[in-house]
Amino acid sequence: MGDEKNSTFIFLCIYSGLNTQNPVLDSLEREINGLEGKEKVAYINRQYYSLYSTNFKKALEHLSFAKKLAEENEWKPELALTLRHLGIVYFLQGNYESALSSFQEALSLFESLNDPVGTGFTLKEMGNYFKRQKQPEKALALLNRGIELCTQAKDTTCLAENMDIKGVVLLEMGKLEEAKAILTSELEILEKTNNETGLSYVLNHLAEIALMEGQIENSVNLLQRSTDIREKNNDLQGVAININNTGEILMGAGRPAEAIPYFEEALSASKEIGFPDLTRHVMQMLSESYSAIGDTKQGLEWMKKSYAIKDSLFNVKRSEQLAEMDAKYETAKKEKELALKEAQLQKRNTWLYVTIAGIILLALLFFFVLRQQQQKRIKAELQADLAASEASNKLQEERLRISRDLHDNLGAELTLIGSAINRKVFKSASPEEKTELESISKNAREAMGQLRETIWAIRSEAFTLESLSHKINEFGQRAGSIHLHLDVDQPQLKLSPSQTLNLYRIAQEAITNAVKHGEARQVSIHFYKKEKNKLVMAVKDDGKGMQGNTRSGGYGMQNMKARAEELGGELNFLSKSGGVHLEVLVPV
């Protein structure tokens, strides 16, 4: 269940012994300070789990020191292990770009060292990473490779950990029976080898499955077995997560009031150990719990606090960095394939040279030139494919990720807010309060509509003028008693997502102004090409026009001009009286 090993029960809660002055941590610090050189690096790597389960900051300090020392002395096996452990700690802190970078470096080192077990463990962590990034197919590909390597190496711990994450991925994909089968097999392996740490994780996952099957008591018992193991091993973080999961079981059983004390304790624990991802999640659980018992005020407050932390963990810049790092990883793989093919071609050329040594010089030169040309052509084709694939994958994955985040997170939260307000309207006895709440509810619905339009514009690589005109026409039909006429000269003209969304917003604003301010009954929009590379959107209405310069200086007009300029174009007013006539010119 705990997401430090990645399951679908997501996190948290507190253990009464959790504090910054921990005797286990003090003992570890004394041992580390008494060692030097490679022994110190080895000890830090052996104890990295104990370090981060009590204090993330200290774990990062010691692992960063071990990395530096290993790099300076070119201790490649120790460096690879340290990089993997650094990636795990970064991942648990929500620092995903640093986590992926560390995992990629560790994987390259283990592969260069021909270490199947080290490679297998690292593939498990990368599968865990892509699971969190909602890329289950990529996660399964990495985990299956890890299972194969660990099986060949006959390392049961490596095998069990890869099976553990694979089971969770299958569970999140809705493949309950497959997940249960592989987790049960993992449990048998761990019980035979008496691997208590691994047992605590697989028991959590099986407890989750039991809960999904409606076996509440069985789920609680499995979770308690896991907690007993973690208490025995002084895993304070793991105990906290298990107690939180008890709260989530209570939520799932329809007992939110009993779950709230667990989540409140979890909030204190997550802040104390410096785990922002846990803090964000427990705030979200508190929001859901209070909303479930009808305390929407508390629910909204906890939701706002959760947003504040979520913004710091998942901002757009970080998402771009993650996409860039993932693209670098894919590029490195393809470059390795290119180098392998080049080596194969070179080997074939050498063999050919030896074979035809007795042939006359002219034939030798002919075949050599032919092979060289073939090698250059294949290399050029691979490089072109690599560049095109990298650019296309990066853009499409980023668009899909953003649209999923908008739909799954912001869309869901807007729906929750709207539902909470509607319940408040129904219960309110004050007409004034009902009017204010209905206005807020209307704003929430409008925001949801704008969100859907934004998602529509960013999900595809390209749009046509025809699809844009259909979307504008849909808005015109909702705008009120107005006749909208659309004329498109080149309906199949391709537009980018940015051009599509900005032109749609400008048309939307122009129609709204014509109805609301100009009292127009007809609006016409004409799309046509001007010169070779300029698209014109001409908008006319039969309203009463602008009064002085009030509308042109309004916030809406400023937004229209800003959107046109964002596309490298311009917006011009050709008439401001007797109906508004404006033109937007955009390079295409």
Are the C-beta atoms of 493 and 465 separated by less than 8 Å?
yes
Number of Cα atoms under 13 Å in the Cβ half of residue 395:
13
**In the chain, which residues have pLDDT < 50?**
1-21, 316-322, 388, 391-392, 395, 407, 549-553
CA of 481: how far to CAs of 51, 475, 484, 581, in Å? 67, 12, 10, 20
pLDDT of residue 496: 86
> What three-state secondary structure class fits 569?
coil
> What three-state secondary structure class fits 574?
strand
Radius of gyration in angstroms for the set of CA atoms belonging to the chain, rounded to a whole number: 30
pLDDT of residue 198: 82
Q: What distance in Å separates the CA atoms of residue 71 and residue 459, rounded to the nearest whole number?
A: 43
